[in-house]
Structure 1
Amino acid sequence: MTSSIGPPVPERSVPSPAPGRLRRPRLYEQIVEQLLGHIQDAGLGPGDRLPPERELAQSLGVSRASLAQALVALEVVGQVTVRHGEGVVVTGDVAPERALLDALRDHRDTLPAVIDARSALETKLAQLAAERRTEEDLAAIDAAVDLMERQLTAGERGLEGDRAFHEAVTAAAHSPVLARLMTEISALILETRIESLSQPGRPQNSLAMHREITEAIRRQDPVAAATAMSHHITVVSDVALLRDQDEEAVS
């Protein structure tokens, strides 16, 4: 009796998916690693200061601009703070290096969505502020602009004045729901505020745009207020982390 079973059929090999593209560490990430190593090796803790930025840049063999970007990244995740007259101060116990770099990358990946939300919310808030503001609201907005101007005159970045301005505009809109949404993303906005105001020339530009928004609200022109705020958010959202991301995408 002849067997109907033929010769064994060779199994087809199913090609496995190609490996994903390697993530090249950015220069600022390499600088972050070096800075963390220095903090740990030197036994620095909360309240201790890093060497002056010029000295750090020379020691690492990098530009002041690249060092500044790394310091901003560390400030965003709460490892250091840059204080006028004091330099770079360690603000917390150093996180594990891998966890910190992952946090920095997660922040960079979510930044575009944060900017979208901020633009949508604050443009509408500026419009409503122009329609609904009271004299007390205007006084609070003016006080915030004055605070930021004093901070810039003192050589600071104007973080508190910038925050106070946007909070005053939010309050002037008299929209509890929008105000609650702004509160929900306030921590994420703080991160973009640090990154933006750390760039050369940005604080002065932001102050000028705050004044333009204020005048539109003062004369109760909702279209001009919304347009000025939309332009402001677009400008201040141009941060180095996203420019680096775009450059890598096309390389």
Structure 2
Amino acid sequence: MEVKPVNRKSISEEIVRQIKEMIGHGTLMPGDRLPAERKLAEEFGVSRTTVREGIKILAESGVLESRQGAGTFVSESRDDDGSLFDAVLSGQHDLRDVFEVRKMLEPEIAALAAVNGSPDQLTRLEDSLADQEKAVRRGASGAGYDHKFHQLLAEASGNPVLKEMVMVLHEGFAKSRAEEVQSPERQQASIRAHRAIVEAVKNGHAMQAERAMREHLASTESIVFSINISRR
């Protein structure tokens, strides 16, 4: 398996991105076993702890699955949604189109999470936000935690189909989360928005959760596309 050495500033987020690309391009197939953490650490040029962090993010979002005593494998559940997953990951779908679907789904997901989220799920959501804040404070982009936050929110909605859809749709935003567009302003805006969503969900305020998510997506859309336009 060929990988590229990782810039330490990108840490686990870059590992997450590269493994997703390998899956999207067919280098890693559903059911394939990943090399041992030690080997991955050597190939990526990072510590085993960093590799473990990246694998954990992918496992929690359903991309990978850990089997006790056997290792870490590419999730075989991808077979059902592989077509959309591959298309989004390879960039066949326009980012604006994917964003349009996110704006239709995710505010409702936030509202459902406020109604259906269990205490354990809400705790995990708070922990994810805390991890994102810590990552940003230590100079990382926190992008992987942003993805995880939205996955946990979809899980708290109580609808497994929505969880799968969010997992696939967010692959289309990997480039928008790249380190070079993760300005301090965008990072702090993401954290503030996530905090508002968590607060509304914790208090069971469905309408507030929906509104907070809608505002979050509008802000993110504005930032992402203003950056893309300025690069032309």
* Superposition TM-score tier, normalisation by shorter sequence: 0.5 to 0.7
Partner of residue 152 from structure 2, selected from 120, 143, 168: 168
Corresponding position: 1:219 with 2:203: yes
Using CA pairs below 8 Å that are at least 6 residues apart, which structure has the higher relative contact order?
2
Superimposed CA distance per residue, residues 47-88 of structure 1 (whole angstroms, 9 cap, x where no aligned partner): 276xx9xxxxxxxxxxxxxxxxxxxxxx9x96xx9x9xxxxx
Corresponding position: 1:205 with 2:189: yes
Q: Using the alignment, how far apart are the partners of 2:118 and 2:196 within structure 1?
A: 18
Q: Using the alignment, how far apart are the partners of 1:135 and 1:216 within structure 2?
A: 14
Q: Using the alignment, how far apart are the partners of 1:153 and 1:246 within structure 2?
A: 27
Q: 1:193 to 1:121 in 2, by over 3 A?
A: farther
Give the drift of 1:109: 7.8
Verify the 8 A CA contact 2:133 2:142 in the aligned structure 1: yes
In structure 2, stretches of 5+ residues that fail to align are 10-17, 22-43, 47-89
Give the aligned residue type for 2:5.
G
Q: Percent identity of the aligned residues?
A: 23
Corresponding position: 1:46 with 2:30: no
Q: 1:189 to 1:121 in 2, by over 3 A?
A: farther
3-state secondary structure, aligned to 1:185:
helix
Q: Which has the larger radius of gyration?
A: 1
3-state secondary structure, aligned to 1:220:
coil
Give the drift of 1:184: 2.6
Q: 1:157 to 1:140 in 2, by over 3 A?
A: same
Give the drift of 1:199: 2.7
Corresponding position: 1:231 with 2:220: no
TM-score where L is the length of structure 2: 0.57
Give the drift of 1:238: 2.2
Q: Using the alignment, how far apart are the partners of 1:152 and 1:165 within structure 2?
A: 14
Q: 1:130 maps to which residue?
A: 114
Superimposed CA distance per residue, residues 173-224 of structure 1 (whole angstroms, 9 cap, x where no aligned partner): 0112212222332311333333796134111111011110000000100000
Verify the 8 A CA contact 2:176 2:224 in the aligned structure 1: no
- RMSD over aligned CA atoms reads 3.4
Q: Using the alignment, how far apart are the partners of 2:171 and 2:129 within structure 1?
A: 21
Q: Using the alignment, how far apart are the partners of 2:191 and 2:6 within structure 1?
A: 31
Partner of residue 194 from structure 1, selected from 178, 185, 189: 178
Q: Using the alignment, how far apart are the partners of 2:94 and 2:184 within structure 1?
A: 24
Q: Using the alignment, how far apart are the partners of 1:109 and 1:246 within structure 2?
A: 21
Worse overlay, 159-168 or 219-228: 159-168
Q: Using the alignment, how far apart are the partners of 2:165 and 2:224 within structure 1?
A: 26
Q: Using the alignment, how far apart are the partners of 2:207 and 2:180 within structure 1?
A: 25
Q: Using the alignment, how far apart are the partners of 2:169 and 2:93 within structure 1?
A: 16
Verify the 8 A CA contact 2:197 2:212 in the aligned structure 1: yes
3-state secondary structure, aligned to 1:140:
helix
3-state secondary structure, aligned to 2:145:
helix
Verify the 8 A CA contact 1:192 1:237 in the aligned structure 2: no
Q: 2:104 maps to which residue?
A: 120
Alignment of 1:59-74 (within 5 A): none
Alignment of 1:15-164 (within 5 A): 46-47=4-5, 107=91, 110-164=94-148
